[in-house]
Amino acid sequence: MKVVIPAAGLGTRFLPLTKASPKEMMPIIDRPTIHYVVEEAVESGVDDILIVIGKGKHIIEDYFDRSWELENHLSINGKRALLPLITKIPDMASFHFIRQNSPKGLGDAVGLGRDHVGNEFFAVMLGDNITVSPVPVLKQLMDVHERTGGSVIGVERVGQDRVSQYGIVSGRMVGNGLIKVDSLVEKPSIEEAPSDIAITGTYVLSPTIFKLLKSTAPGKHGEIQLTDALNELAQQEDVYAYEFEGHRYDVGDVTGWLKTQIEFAVADPRYGDDICKFITEVIDRKCKER
């Protein structure tokens, strides 16, 4: 299965940084967010990755390419031990890039994968979302696809107060954490929301979605919404939502990024002790006086 990773958005929730720097390259410890996304795809068995980039996003392409100058520099300056850190990256998978010439929405970005993907089921993962679980979330969705033969959307319950920030699913439970989808609605008001089951950003999709995206009119915020095309898909083919096991980190806004950074640092054996000590000090010095 191939994966499409849209990473061409403007990242307005992270301005001013994103004026000149892609949010998908925001570091979590020592590697960019999109590196973790690719790692999850690879651990799920995917070896063909199409990344949708846009203006100012060429450093994503550079990151997954070889860097002969840097390799040479490390080799001749006694830093050979660092070489695997950078040489492994381009070998993780077969990387392909396509440009979205203006940020017309997630649906438009996914639609650009049509020629590369062809007439097969494929995966979509967001370039600014990291998930952590014993079995990679994409692998969990691929297994559900194997069992059901349908499209599968990763979802989580977000609580009624947050439904207006997400695509929301309506359907009936047909198994453990498995919902047969009747319809989907993008960012509904609390009154309109059919549930609090929210789309999180990992999908296994039927190629029919490409045809549907072509005829999807701009929706919320004037963007081509993937959720609108998925709603149409659910009227034509089997679409399931799956409450995956694991934790999702939205690194696309400042609070989400800060929390992810702290949690990953605490869990990292290289930095955890230091950071925990530091956090305890900060709580004493700063948090208590707030």
User: Shortest gap between Cβ of 191 and ligand UTP (angstroms)?
Assistant: 23
Q: Is 276 helix (H, G, I), strand (E, B) or coil?
A: helix
User: Shortest gap between Cβ of 80 and ligand UTP (angstroms)?
Assistant: 35
User: Shortest gap between Cβ of 265 and ligand UTP (angstroms)?
Assistant: 23
In DSSP terms, 2 is beta-bridged to 48
CA distances from 232 to 62, 163, 215, 236 (A): 37, 20, 10, 7
User: Shortest gap between Cβ of 46 and ligand UTP (angstroms)?
Assistant: 17
And the tokens for 54?
A: 């846009």
User: Shortest gap between Cβ of 24 and ligand UTP (angstroms)?
Assistant: 6
Helix (H) or strand (E) holding 86: helix 83-87
User: Which is nearer to ligand UTP, 10 or 42 (by Cβ)?
Assistant: 10
User: Shortest gap between Cβ of 200 and ligand UTP (angstroms)?
Assistant: 11
Amino acid identity of 204? V
And the tokens for 174?
A: 């047909």
User: Which is nearer to ligand UTP, 106 or 138 (by Cβ)?
Assistant: 106
User: What single string gives the DSSP state of each residue in 32-81?
Assistant: EHHHHHHHHHHHTT--EEEEEE-TT-HHHHHHTS--HHHHHHHHHTT-GG
For residue 122, report the phi and psi dihedrals to the nearest 5 degrees: -145, 170
User: Which is nearer to ligand UTP, 126 or 155 (by Cβ)?
Assistant: 126
User: Which is nearer to ligand UTP, 103 or 194 (by Cβ)?
Assistant: 103
User: Shortest gap between Cβ of 215 and ligand UTP (angstroms)?
Assistant: 18
State which residue has the least CB distance to ligand UTP.
9
Q: Which residues bind ligand UTP (CB under 6 A)?
A: 6-13, 24, 52, 100, 103-106, 108-109, 126-128, 252
User: Which is nearer to ligand UTP, 25 or 74 (by Cβ)?
Assistant: 25
User: Shortest gap between Cβ of 244 and ligand UTP (angstroms)?
Assistant: 18
Q: Where are the beta strands (DSSP E) in the chain?
A: 2-6, 27-28, 31-32, 48-53, 94-99, 122-125, 129-132, 151-157, 167-175, 178-186, 197-205, 239-243, 247-250
Is the distance from CB of 107 to CB of 213 less than 8 angstroms? yes
**Nearest residue to 127 via CA among 241, 50, 197, 221:** 50
**Nearest residue to 25 via CA among 251, 267, 200:** 251
CA distances from 123 to 126, 237, 288 (A): 10, 17, 45
